[in-house]
C-alpha cells in the first residue's frame, strides 16, 4: 500500500487556501495510487515543541553515552518525525507565506528533522522521492508589484526540499489569497479567483502525474 505524508502549517483551518489546494492535491494523488494511506501532520494545530530542535541539535555535539534524558527524548522525537517522511512514497508540504517568510511551525519542523542524521546536509535518504510544495501568499509578489522580492519563504523551503533533501519537487503557487477579505484588494478579486481555480487544476494535474514520478529512475 502506498503512503502520502502531508504537512499543513496554516494557522487557519476554515478558509485556508493552502489547506484547500493541498486537499485537492492529496485527493488526486490518492485516487491515482488507488490504495493509499495519508499520514497527516498539522504543525499549526499540534506544533513541534519550540525547544525540541535546540535540545536535539546540541545532543549532536555530545557523545551518545553522555546524553541527558532530555537529549535522548529529543533525538527520539526527531527520529519519529523523520520516519514519517522516510516511510512515505509521496510528500506534500503546504506552506503559506507569513510576514514574508515561512511559518515558525514549519521552520521548527524542518530544523528538527535536520538534527536526524538521515536528513543532515549531504545525505541522500529521500533523494528522488516525489514531493509537492503548496505555497500561498496573501498579496501579490510578482515582478513589477510593490512587494516583488519580499517573499523570503518560498526560496528557503525550496532550497531545503529540493537541494538539501534532494526531493523531486513540484511547486503549486497561489497569490492574492486575502483579496476576498481585504477591501483594499477588491479590484483584484477576479484575478484571485482565477489564480485559485488554476491552482486547484494544477493540483489535480500533479496528482495524476505522480505515478510517473514513482516509476522514474532515481
Q: Helix or strand or coil: residue 122?
A: coil
- Per-residue pLDDT at 1: 80
Mean pLDDT within 110-131: 97
Average per-residue pLDDT for the chain: 95
| pLDDT level of residue 208 (50, 70, 90 thresholds) | confident
pLDDT digits (tens, 9 = 90+) for 67-105: 999 999 999 999 999 999 999 999 999 999 999 999 999
pLDDT for the residue 163: 97
- pLDDT, one tens digit per residue, over 156-189 is 999 999 999 999 999 999 999 999 999 999 999 9
Q: Which residues contact 165 (CB under 8 A, 6 or more apart)?
A: 119, 125, 126, 127
Over range 10-17, report the average pLDDT: 94
> Which of 16-25, 50-59, 107-116, 204-213 shows the lowest per-residue confidence on average (mean pLDDT)?
204-213
- Decide if pLDDT at 216 tops 90: no
Percent helix / strand / coil, the chain, rounded to 5:
50, 20, 35
Q: Cell 498579496 identifies what position?
A: 139
Cα–Cα distances (Å) from 216 to 85, 128, 198, 201, in that order, read: 19, 9, 26, 23
Report the Cα–Cα distance between both ends of the chain, in Å, rounded: 20
Max CA distance (Å), the chain: 62
CB 41 within 8 A of CB 120: no
Q: Span 107-115, mean pLDDT?
A: 98
What band does 215 get if pLDDT is binned at 50, 70 and 90?
Answer: low
pLDDT reported for residue 62: 94
pLDDT of residue 218: 52
pLDDT at 7: 98
Is pLDDT above 90 for 217?
Answer: no
- Interval 128-142 mean pLDDT: 96
How sure is the predictor about 49, in pLDDT bands with cuts at 50, 70 and 90? very high
Q: Write down the pLDDT at residue 105.
A: 97
pLDDT (0 to 100) of residue 211: 78
Looking at residue 128, what is its pLDDT? Answer: 95
pTM greater than 0.85 (yes/no): yes
Structural domains of the chain in order of their starting residue, each with its CATH number: 2-215 (3.40.50.360)
212 Cβ contact partners less than 8 Å away, ≥ 6 residues apart: none
Amino acid at each position: 500500500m502506498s503512503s502520502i505524508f502531508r504537512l499543513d502549517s496554516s494557522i487557519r483551518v476554515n478558509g485556508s487556501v493552502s489547506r484547500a489546494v493541498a486537499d485537492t492535491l492529496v485527493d488526486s494523488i490518492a485516487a491515482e495510487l488507488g490504495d493509499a494511506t495519508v499520514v497527516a501532520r498539522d504543525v499549526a494545530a499540534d506544533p513541534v515543541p519550540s525547544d525540541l530542535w535546540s535540545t536535539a541539535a546540541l545532543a549532536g555535539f555530545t557523545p551518545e553515552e553522555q546524553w541527558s534524558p532530555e537529549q535522548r527524548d529529543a533525538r527520539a522525537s526527531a527520529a519519529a518525525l523523520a520516519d514519517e517522511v522516510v516511510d512515505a512514497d509521496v510528500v506534500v508540504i503546504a506552506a503559506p507565506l507569513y510576514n514574508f517568510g515561512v511559518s515558525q511551525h514549519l521552520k521548527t519542523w524542518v530544523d528538527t528533522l535536520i538534527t536526524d542524521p538521515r536528513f543532515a546536509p549531504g545525505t541522500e535518504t529521500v533523494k528522488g522521492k516525489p514531493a509537492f510544495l503548496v505555497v500561498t501568499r496573501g498579496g501579490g509578489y510578482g515582478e513589477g508589484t510593490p512587494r516583488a522580492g519580499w517573499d523570503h519563504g518560498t526560496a528557503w523551503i525550496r532550497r531545503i526540499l529540493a537541494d538539501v533533501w534532494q526531493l523531486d519537487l513540484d511547486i503549486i503557487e497561489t497569490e492574492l489569497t486575502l483579496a476576498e477579505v481585504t477591501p483594499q484588494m477588491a479590484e483584484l478579486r477576479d484575478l484571485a479567483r482565477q489564480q485559485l481555480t488554476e491552482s486547484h487544476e494544477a493540483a489535480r494535474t500533479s496528482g495524476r502525474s505522480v505515478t510517473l514520478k514513482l516509476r522514474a529512475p532515481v
